[in-house]
Amino acid sequence: MLTNRSKKIADRKMSFSEKIYLPAIVNGMRITFGHLFRKKATIDYPAKTREFSEIYRGRHVLKRDEEGRERCTACGLCAVACPAEAITMVSAERKPGEEHLYREEKYASVYEINMLRCIFCGLCEEACPKEAIFLTRETVSSEYNRDSFIYGKDKLVEPADPERRIDVSKRQTPEVLEFKSDRTKKHNK
């Protein structure tokens, strides 16, 4: 014995009803029948949807700036921050004449997120210094094969049309929102 802390174990004999597990079976059936007559806990999904929390993290989106250019500079911080290693990217240099497409000299020529590996933790969103990636309130659609869950830039980059952009203002940091409002005030003058 290494320590003085010993534990007394009670060696009580089980009764006949305990040996045949009759009380446990009756208690389990009571719980089962109690759930049988309660209000239904599930919902009819396609017809009805649940209310999501304001902080719900759903499908990813790569944002564009006010001029319609991609914000992502392929710095790789989102991929490094991802605990599930779901993000892969390949960077490329912007060519002359592509200034209207990409905001910085470097951009992500390939940007993929494996949605089957993603745990929707939001660390990619926090790590991005350019506020290029956000998790939206949209759910990831179901598919029948695994290859459909690898989202490339075709599914991630938001539309260039300003009317079809995804609002993530509740998820943005206050500094960016102040910068945007100041910029809008200057533009409207």
Task: Tell me: pLDDT of 180 over 70.
Answer: no
pLDDT in the model for residue 160 = 84
Sheet holding 150-151, edge to edge: 87-93, 106-114, 150-151
pLDDT in the model for residue 37 = 83
Token pair, residue 117, equals 């590996």
**Residue owning tokens 């079809």:** 164
Phi and psi at 147, nearest 5°, equal -65, -25
pLDDT in the model for residue 189 = 54
Tens of pLDDT along 71-122?
Answer: 999 999 999 999 999 999 999 999 998 888 898 889 999 999 999 999 999 9
* Predicted model pTM: 0.68
* Sign of the alpha-carbon dihedral angle for 132, 120, 59, 93: positive
Amino acid at 182: D
Residue 43's pLDDT band (cuts 50, 70, 90): confident
Which neighbouring-strand residues pair with 135? 60
Q: What is the CA radius of gyration of the chain?
A: 27
CATH class of 60-178: alpha beta
Domain residue spans in the chain? 60-178
